[in-house]
Chain A
């Protein structure tokens, strides 16, 4: 029985947590979910590819109003991780326009989502300021 489980299957835990994409062997397009064929070139052969853990915040919003059960405010963003765009929250930062800016350097960070009845801890990821 594992003691930890990732929030999503494209988060690889271990000593150096990182994201893993399905990369098209023909054109290099990367996808976090499974694809029957590549959306870019229709190739059907994919390999696993590690995504860089450091990147640049290229878009963000500070969500103040969300679905019931979603804690607010939080910073949602898009991070350019060495050419692969990743969706994630900006964490370990005050969710205010003063503290979050376009182009800021961030790095992948993990945190606990809690432990279930079997004692398994779910681990989530976000991006924290790397300056």
Chain B
């Protein structure tokens, strides 16, 4: 191992679901303490903490220290929409890469069970008795619902439909089949918020949220946390053989934002920044998409999973529909995608997601994934998108020791 390689020494996630007896600090502390144990280090060793939480009131990292150890180290409180967890991990990685610290700790935690619809305002908006232009568009009345939709299910529905307009082949049933896959996968994952298998009919006849996304085709709002300890190859060499054996190499760690595209002001472009991040990540890691044994990608909605097959170059450009129809992305296929159940079934506690998907990959690379183990997994990729937008991609490899 090279001295300047980055390694995940320890990683953990809480079970995703409804934790009504725990707050975000409890959840974060549970993940942190488990990650430290997994790494074989203590808070005394940690030189930096990057703490992700999106929906709380701020200051999450310091609140967490009070529960797990106040050692005076710098805390970076991180928010970056649904890419918050990946951004926290990348922050810790950058500190290790810079040579400022030996061990970095990243955590993401969120309480989201019962949060309902995201992105649509959430409270009733009243029109006034006098039309008065307000805001950047000088609007005299709310625009959500009158000039398109602000809701996440509707936004990502359009993302999938736009792909269909460009390349053809999409249908309500196709998107529902993607959801069918992820729910089927989740039945093997005890950490998932939901482990219920759905038939295609059940998915298509469930409550419509934003055509073509029905309720099971949307990410599951839930509570959860995940944390990881990272160090350099130079540091890892000084640790035990067992720690070296279980350590997972971070072959690529990339964060991008959305570059200008003609239509990005009216529909967030989740494609270009993912493709850009993927290109950089494959180059950094020296692997190609065909080398990937499994992928955890950001299926915030079934309509989103389809476009990311293409953006991550798992298939030929424009070929995502055929790629899915070939069965490639089922756990028995050539490129298993979201064997954890994905955001649709494992759940999506926003800030935890970008570390939990890495935990899933590490679990397989360490050959510790039990009955959902992808046999002989050596290389995996984890991807998240935060709308606005930010994309985090990590490529991970087992140590080979």
Contacts and interface: CB of A to CB of B under 8 A. Distances in A.
Chain A complexes with chain B: yes
Interface of A: 5-10, 29, 31-34, 39-40, 57-72, 74, 76-78, 83-89, 97, 102-103, 113-114, 116-118, 120, 122, 124-126
Contacts of A6: 140
Interface stretch (B52-60, B257-265, B334-342): B257-265
Contact of B267 (A32, A59, A116, A124): A59
Contacts of A71: 145
User: 6 closest pairs, A vs B, by CB?
Assistant: A9-B138, A70-B145, A85-B263, A61-B157, A67-B120, A87-B266
8 contacts: A8-B138, A32-B265, A58-B162, A62-B208, A64-B208, A66-B117, A67-B120, A124-B141
Given A62-B211, A102-B161, A8 B137 contact: yes
A32 B143 CA distance: 13
A61 B158 contact: yes
A63 B150 CA distance: 10
Contacts of B267: 59, 78, 85, 87
B121 A67 contact: yes
A32 B137 CA distance: 7
Contact of B165 (A34, A58, A69, A118): A58
Most central of A9, A39, A67, A122 by chain B CB within 10 Å: A67
Most central of A70, A74, A120 by chain B CB within 10 Å: A70
A47 to B, nearest CB: 17
Interface in B53-80: none
A67 B125 contact: yes
Given A62-B211, A97-B172, A69 B146 contact: no
Nearest to A90: B148
B243 interface: no
Contact of A116 (B128, B147, B166, B265): B128
Interface in B146-172: 146-151, 153-154, 157-159, 161-162, 164-166, 172
B147 A89 contact: yes
Nearest to B137: A8
Contact of A69 (B126, B129, B208, B211): B126
B151 A65 contact: yes
A57 B266 CA distance: 13
A61 B211 contact: yes
Contacts of A72: 145
B141 A67 contact: no
Interface string B229-270: 000000000000000000000000000000010110111000
Contact of A76 (B136, B142, B149, B212): B149
B123 interface: yes
B158 A68 contact: no
Contacts of B153: 61, 63, 65
B128 to A, nearest CB: 7
Contacts of A5: 131, 133, 140
B207 interface: yes
Nearest to B146: A124
Nearest to B164: A102
B122 interface: yes
Contacts of A103: 165
Nearest to B145: A70
A86 B159 CA distance: 14
